[in-house]
Structure 1
Amino acid sequence: MAQINPDYLTHIAAELPEHLDMDEFISACQRPLRKSIRVNTLKISVADFKLIMQSKGWEFEPIPWCNEGFWVIHDEKQQPGNSVEHIQGLFYIQEASSMLPPEALFDDFNTTNLDNQSIVLDVASAPGSKTTQLAALMQNQGLLIANEYSASRVKILHANVQRMGVRQTALTHFDGKVFGEYLYEKFDAILLDAPCGGEGTVRKDVNALKNWQLDDVTDIAETQKQLIESAFLALKPGGSLVYSTCTLSQIENQQICHFIQQQYPDSVEFSPLNHLFKNSEKACTPEGFLHVWPQIFDSEGFFVAKIRKTVSVPRLKKCPKQQRNFPFVSAKAKQTEEIAEYLAKSFNINLPQQFDVMIRDDEYWLFPAQFSEFIGLMRFQRIGFKLADVLKKGFKVKHEAIIALSDFVSNQDRVIELNRSQAVEFLMGRDIPTSDIEGLDTTPAGEMIVSFHHKPLGVVKHLGHRLKNNLPRELVKDKIETI
């Protein structure tokens, strides 16, 4: 049972809207969260995913604010995170309320200046639930810059971006306060899911409110003010900024939004979210912010505000010096032709046109085309994805390229579909005897793609009698659900 500091209850009782009951709030905080997932439409349709998982006994209840989101019920013995479908990125285990900020940012998609070629910033990205949701809403087009301040969490962010088949990202590792300075008015849309007190997470962390102190809340709010001002400066005029937290105190929520309005009264316009989804008005404040108390939708507590930048604002600092020694160069026409020919011949992959082939030493990479205007402005941890390494004769494709370019496969001649037990064997790093695969030609055929549910798992080398496993060592799993 959740341990809630009495001082917190006194504080929050004064902020609870009149139409909500304090006893119901406490009761909701004591209940475990419902399990929820988001279908990854970069890889599979919602209908196809539901068919697959319903055959495993899953039941689905739609989450009203996200067409791809569902509360799910399944056999308690099942561990969705260890399933083949999760490992291959068909879904993301994501709390329902956390799906709100990306939906709010894209609620007017294609009706404003926000479209598939937009440049979007996710200020605090790890572990990647909202980043990958944004990528899906952008249909893997445009440019999505995903920043994470914690060095250890950047690796987790990259792993999830790769697993979900996101290909138009550039990852950065900075304090979010620098973006207004370094990338002034560069973004069409920005998501700032700010670090916060986490009051809304008590249903999954029973100790979240055990040591709550008001001084901690006010300290965090000062950081949030700096972050929202930096994000606002990085936003283009006409663009939208979504500010969100998983906390409930107005100090970290409404007051932060009013702060930025007071700083730039002629440039800030609040975009109401009372029509974002059916019954959203139940959680709306007078300003049109979503203040989601846990008892309203039986979810985590959450806050979401959408802010439009109506006109440009002055830059606070001079433009910083350009970054030197960018390690990549554009591939020459012949080099691009060579890598394109290798991918086409080996895997029937057509190299997409909306990306730039870049080279670093003996590595070929694919960058989102819009990234060119960001070269030299700041350091990036990882841009796009690696296509292949150069060998003495030819190339060696990278796993992440196969995952990212799966929808550019022109036909299935170079793809071997596995059954569930074979997929498990592959993901555990084991070779697969060709005699186990019905109808497979046992003539050695070189590099090929293996798939499950007709979605790629990785690369093998067809040696005739067996498929040699080329899954990167760091992706090999020790435990996988076989159901």
Structure 2
Amino acid sequence: MHSNIALPEEFLATIAEILPPTLNMEDFVAACQRPLRKSIRVNTLKISVDSFVQRAQEKGWSLEPVPWCDTGFWIEADESVVPLGNTAEHMAGLFYIQEASSMMPVSALFTDAQDEFNAVLDMAAAPGSKTTQIAALMNNQGVLVANEFSASRVKVLHANIERCGIRNAALSNFDGRVFGGWLPEQFDAVLIDAPCSGEGTIRKDADAMKNWSKASVLSIAETQKDLIESAFQALKPGGVLVYSTCTLSTEENQQVCWHLKNTYGDAVQFERLDNLFSEADKAITAEGFLHIFPQVYDCEGFFVARIRKLAAVEAPAVQKRLGKFPFEKASHKVTADITRQLQEALGITLPVASSVWLRDNDVWLFPDALEPMLGELRFSRMGIKIAEAHKKGYRWQHQVATTLATGNETQSVQLTTAEAREWYMGRDVRPESQSGQGEVIVCYGNDVIGLGKWVGNRVKNGLPRELVRDKNLF
């Protein structure tokens, strides 16, 4: 597909200088010209890997495990009629279409079972592949701060978080360089999948190298050094930082990590990734980083480093002007009333380690682990909106169903395939010979797909606008 891609001569000369002796340029160029294998990651917040594999077999999908991610698979599927992104399983959040190599940074972050992460920062989060992977490994516990600098991409990030049933995330929209000063030593773990020159993405984007220059690489590297310093300052002593890029230049990779080491000395410890997966040694550097050329594992070019913070470091002083926090924590009486009404209406129980917060007539559920940060940083969205208060009680919201329901609740309705298609297109549905009152959990097969409201024999559609699809459905 990309046999006619243009690789700048200066870029090829740079690669020739850094290519390990076990690899050769012919294989590198050939790999760059091959299209990527499609890969997906199972969302274990919604379904187990074993159950997903069984579903894939029933659908005729061929899966091959990704060695560095227990929930990742390369997939072969007939997409001539329905693209994977429009399948019922994808829209229900059972899997995420994610490039295989991009699963590696999160796997590296969670590689030590002794690490307990109650507060995690994903510093450059959109569109959400790594954020949703982290949330699944956290099992929706603690708090996951998902930051995205580009305001236009925050909407996509939120849609993916919503689709995947995540309730422990707090979204922010800042330059990542602010975190060291605004939230110093707040996080048990930080992932910085840094903005980069994208040299490794040529197999996915034939134009990735169109505007490449050595000068731009060096300029981006300076930004990356600022970001990794901020990430390290935001990390608690004893915590883990994973730095990754989808590029190949040593200036944006090894040299950025060494900049951190040279800046903070013995507080920085590189942790080797030799044992992250079988044959990781094929891409390991002297420091124990993974520097992955596309021909090695037949994936994108990528870089991953795991770094431990051994001691506190000084963070920059900042002056904060946050303004009045618009939420108020609900009283025990109000929380008890909401808990009771939710149980009576939908058979759903609020999770532990979370609290109800109010803003005007809106009712939100925040993870308790977020509370220490509420007066320190302005978030664009926190936790999940569970209800809107009105005179006769509460009007429950979509995420109550997709993040808290199991599908076994009595107040639920099963849709046929035709009805589920209508539902995902934002239309009301009329389940045959059924009627009811109030809100109802909407299911398709074994999956909770939303929340509706009975109006006689019609279920009024409650799907958020950003999740509505209009064609080529399952």
From 446, 451, 455, the equivalent of 1:459 is 451
The 2-side partners of 1:156 and 1:469 are apart by: 21
From 448, 452, 473, the equivalent of 2:440 is 448
Deviation at 1:9, TM superposition (A): 0.4
Report what 2:330 is aligned to.
Answer: 331
Q: Which AA in structure 2 matches 1:154?
A: V
The 1-side partners of 2:88 and 2:322 are apart by: 42
State which drifts further: 412-421 or 88-97: 412-421
Q: What secondary structure is seen at the aligned counterpart in 2 of 1:359?
A: strand
The 2-side partners of 1:380 and 1:466 are apart by: 37
The 2-side partners of 1:122 and 1:37 are apart by: 20
Q: What secondary structure is seen at the aligned counterpart in 2 of 1:449?
A: strand
Report what 1:212 is aligned to.
Answer: 212
Q: What secondary structure is seen at the aligned counterpart in 2 of 1:403?
A: helix
Report what 2:360 is aligned to.
Answer: 361
Q: Deviations over 1:191-245 (max 9, x none)?
A: 0000000000000111112332100000000000000011111111111100000
Report what 1:74 is aligned to.
Answer: 77
Deviation at 1:476, TM superposition (A): 2.4
The 2-side partners of 1:391 and 1:5 are apart by: 62
Q: Deviations over 1:57-102 (max 9, x none)?
A: 1000000000110000011413001112111111100000000000
Report what 1:401 is aligned to.
Answer: 400
The 1-side partners of 2:347 and 2:294 are apart by: 49
The 2-side partners of 1:253 and 1:133 are apart by: 23
The 1-side partners of 2:219 and 2:245 are apart by: 15
Conservation of the 8 A alpha-carbon contact between 2:442 and 2:452: yes
Q: Which AA in structure 2 matches 1:105?
A: L
Q: What secondary structure is seen at the aligned counterpart in 2 of 1:266?
A: helix
Q: What secondary structure is seen at the aligned counterpart in 2 of 1:97?
A: helix
> Would you say how many aligned residue pairs link Structure 1 and Structure 2?
470
Report what 1:228 is aligned to.
Answer: 228
Deviation at 1:156, TM superposition (A): 0.8
Gapped regions of structure 1 (runs ≥ 5):
none
Q: Which AA in structure 2 matches 1:34?
A: R
Q: What secondary structure is seen at the aligned counterpart in 1 of 2:459?
A: strand
Conservation of the 8 A alpha-carbon contact between 1:322 and 1:376: no
The 1-side partners of 2:61 and 2:294 are apart by: 25
1:429 aligns with 2:433: no
Q: Which AA in structure 1 matches 2:300?
A: E
The 2-side partners of 1:377 and 1:151 are apart by: 20
Report what 1:104 is aligned to.
Answer: 108
State which drifts further: 62-71 or 426-435: 426-435
Conservation of the 8 A alpha-carbon contact between 1:324 and 1:376: no
The 2-side partners of 1:245 and 1:80 are apart by: 26
Q: Which AA in structure 2 matches 1:15?
A: I
Give percent identity, aligned residues only. 52
From 14, 18, 21, the equivalent of 1:18 is 21
After superposition, residues 47-62 of structure 1 pair within 5 angstroms as 47-62=50-65
Conservation of the 8 A alpha-carbon contact between 2:159 and 2:466: no
Change (3 A) 1:55 1:253: same
Q: Which AA in structure 1 matches 2:182?
A: Y
Q: What secondary structure is seen at the aligned counterpart in 1 of 2:299?
A: coil
The 1-side partners of 2:6 and 2:255 are apart by: 27
State which drifts further: 325-334 or 453-462: 453-462
The 1-side partners of 2:304 and 2:217 are apart by: 18
Deviation at 1:131, TM superposition (A): 0.3
Conservation of the 8 A alpha-carbon contact between 2:426 and 2:461: yes
Change (3 A) 1:47 1:365: same
After superposition, residues 82-121 of structure 1 pair within 5 angstroms as 82-109=86-113, 111-112=114-115, 114-115=116-117, 118-121=118-121
Tell me the C-alpha RMSD between the 2 structures: 1.4
Deviation at 1:465, TM superposition (A): 2.8
After superposition, residues 49-448 of structure 1 pair within 5 angstroms as 49-77=52-80, 78-109=82-113, 111-112=114-115, 114-115=116-117, 118-315=118-315, 317-321=316-320, 323-407=322-406, 411-435=408-432, 442-448=434-440
Q: Which AA in structure 2 matches 1:481?
A: L
Conservation of the 8 A alpha-carbon contact between 1:406 and 1:455: no
The 2-side partners of 1:10 and 1:263 are apart by: 30
Deviation at 1:157, TM superposition (A): 0.7
The 1-side partners of 2:79 and 2:395 are apart by: 42
Q: What secondary structure is seen at the aligned counterpart in 1 of 2:106?
A: helix
The 2-side partners of 1:294 and 1:72 are apart by: 18
Conservation of the 8 A alpha-carbon contact between 2:348 and 2:409: no
Change (3 A) 1:285 1:399: same
The 1-side partners of 2:377 and 2:430 are apart by: 48
State which drifts further: 443-452 or 388-397: 443-452
TM-score (norm. length: structure 2): 0.96
Conservation of the 8 A alpha-carbon contact between 1:188 and 1:240: yes
The 2-side partners of 1:211 and 1:468 are apart by: 49
Q: What secondary structure is seen at the aligned counterpart in 1 of 2:375?
A: coil
Deviation at 1:11, TM superposition (A): 1.1
Conservation of the 8 A alpha-carbon contact between 1:84 and 1:480: no
Q: What secondary structure is seen at the aligned counterpart in 1 of 2:73?
A: strand
Conservation of the 8 A alpha-carbon contact between 2:415 and 2:431: no
State which drifts further: 283-292 or 423-432: 423-432
Q: Which AA in structure 2 matches 1:311?
A: A
Q: Deviations over 1:237-260 (max 9, x none)?
A: 111100000000101000001110
Deviation at 1:464, TM superposition (A): 4.1
Q: Which AA in structure 2 matches 1:413?
A: T
Conservation of the 8 A alpha-carbon contact between 1:140 and 1:167: yes
From 43, 47, 53, the equivalent of 1:44 is 47
The 1-side partners of 2:463 and 2:178 are apart by: 37
Deviation at 1:345, TM superposition (A): 1.1
Conservation of the 8 A alpha-carbon contact between 2:292 and 2:302: yes
